[in-house]
Amino acid sequence: MQDITQQIGTATMAYRLRWKRRRLLLRALRKRRQLREVHNRTDQIAPDSILCFTTVRNEAVRLPYFLDHHRKLGVDHFLFVDNASDDGTAEYLAQQLDTSIWHTPDSYRLSRFGVDWLTWLQIQHGHSHWCLTLDADEVFIYPYHDTRPLRALTEWLDRKEFTSFGALMLDMYPKGPLDAQTYQAGSNPFEILQWFDGGNYMIQKKKDLQNLWIQGGPRARNFFATNPRRAPTMGKVPLVKWDRRYAYVSSTHSLLPRRLNHVYDDQGGEKTSGILLHTKFLHMIADKSAEEKNRGEHFANSALYDDYYDRLTQSPDLWCDGSTRLISWRQLEAMGLMSRGTWL
């Protein structure tokens, strides 16, 4: 009897998630009307091109390094949704010949934090391509990224018949007040953001989507110490061999079909994984936090995060005695934050 009940429960969950995915794809279809084509250079996309999808607002300072880093990895074309930037972001992107740009003034929050817009672009342009979905403050690295191009990783994933690749988002921060060092566009942000939290992470497997829910790092330690379950989640699935039937559920933390969330080894081994080095805590964080609090576009219940934003506007010092200085990806692997797995 218990086995029958479990089978019914499994079938019911699969049915609900199948309809949820269809609803998410329908949302993207509706939200396409909010996008205005600015520069469409997707005719450059070859059948084997690796693509990067990003929603941006006022990221002109970060974009030169973001583009340079991911170009060097091997991204062939970038597809951006510009959410009404007024700092020169759109003008800068227009000059980049390997980018396509769409514009929208509509609500970031009501588009599921930009995911609906990107889902439509992925339906149109991402099918059958390896696709990175990133925020402009995320820098993707993986084992051997300094010596092996991204195509070497995706070809290995193809051979292994893996269709998704997981990464831990690692908050990087300086030593001292966040606004003490001024970042210059195009320079290496990790000359300032040299530190991270190495071990204060909580991990649980979500029953419904079967993704890993990871919390911790300096934000949990500094801003959510009394309620750590409110801290941002750090596990992501940013690299996917896309199919037009796929849909992200919550940012890039989880996808449907849920088999794409199986980027871990639940048999006691290690599966190859990467890191998203998070550059949120550059000197601009105070002004950006004030703007984000005022706009109320970055959290579903923004009032719960008012204190978080208020403290960030004061440019706190996130460094502590337990902070670890970043050396290399091999260090991150040795600490168990990323893994080569079977990719040697």
Domain extents in the chain: 2-334
- Res 7: pLDDT: 66
| SS3 assignment, position 39 | strand
Q: What is the pTM of this model?
A: 0.95
**Strands 130-133 and 51-56, how do they pair?**
parallel
Give the list of residues 6+ apart from residue 157 with CB closer than 8 angstroms, or none.
Answer: 130, 163, 165, 241
Using CB atoms within 10 Å of the CB of residue 27, give its burial: 0 to 12 exposed, 13 to 18 middle, 19+ buried: middle
CB atoms within 10 A of CB 219: 23
- Res 299: pLDDT: 63
Nearest to 55 by CA among 29, 25, 34: 34
- DSSP letter (8 states) at residue 205: E
CB atoms within 10 A of CB 295: 13
- Res 301: pLDDT: 57
Side-chain-side CA neighbours of 250 within 13 Å: the count stands at 17
pLDDT in tens, the chain (344 residues): 567 666 666 778 889 999 999 999 999 999 999 999 999 999 999 999 999 999 999 999 999 999 999 999 999 999 999 999 999 999 999 999 999 999 999 999 999 999 999 999 999 999 999 999 999 999 999 999 999 999 999 999 999 999 999 999 999 999 999 999 999 999 999 999 999 999 889 999 999 999 999 999 999 999 998 888 889 999 999 999 999 999 999 899 999 999 999 999 887 778 999 999 999 999 999 888 888 778 876 665 556 678 888 899 999 999 999 999 999 999 999 999 999 999 98
Alpha-carbon span 131 to 93, nearest angstrom: 19
